[in-house]
Amino acid sequence: MAQSNIEVSVRGVMPTANGCAVFLGNPDKTFVIYVDHAVGNAIQMTLDGVRKDRPLTHELIGQIFMGLEIELNHVLINHVDEGTFFARILLQMENELGTKIVEIDARPSDSMVLALQSKRPIYVAPEVFDRVDDMTEILERVLRQREEESSGEG
């Protein structure tokens, strides 16, 4: 029997020299996907509940989904190849003919923003989760350091 997909959440977004590191994980393991600054900022703004005066691209896509009565069911990070991650967005639409599920190939970074905006789950395929390095200690160390720096400023 195939192992089922593993639900993860965004545990942190950290700026890097070339973009942002997005830490995804669960209590068992945390891993990193590197994204460009714009998407990293969109992920962080979504996590923080920040709304812009005008919709960003990801917000526009979410509004289009709402207008067409399409629901983002979930996101699946389904493959990794030499540090490049791949994802699928699963959309669901219901009409008088029944339920239609559409699976779309997408970048994990864009997929994460849409899932966070829609408050929908992000899953990782077990074979991807097994292959990625556990970055839990690094995330915890960075978060501790940030906390110490912010408490030292007060």
pLDDT in tens, 90-104: 999 988 888 899 999
Chain-centre distance for alpha carbon 147: 24
Per-domain boundaries in the chain: 6-153
- Domain 6-153, CATH: 3.10.690.10
Q: Considering only residues 92 and 56, tell me which one the structure prediction assigns the higher pLDDT.
A: 92
Cα distances (angstroms) measured from residue 146 to each of 21, 32, 140: 15, 18, 10
CA 45 to CA 51: how far, in whole Å? 7
Question: Does 32 have pLDDT greater than 60?
Answer: yes
Report CA dihedral (145, 149, 151, 154) to the nearest 10 degrees.
180
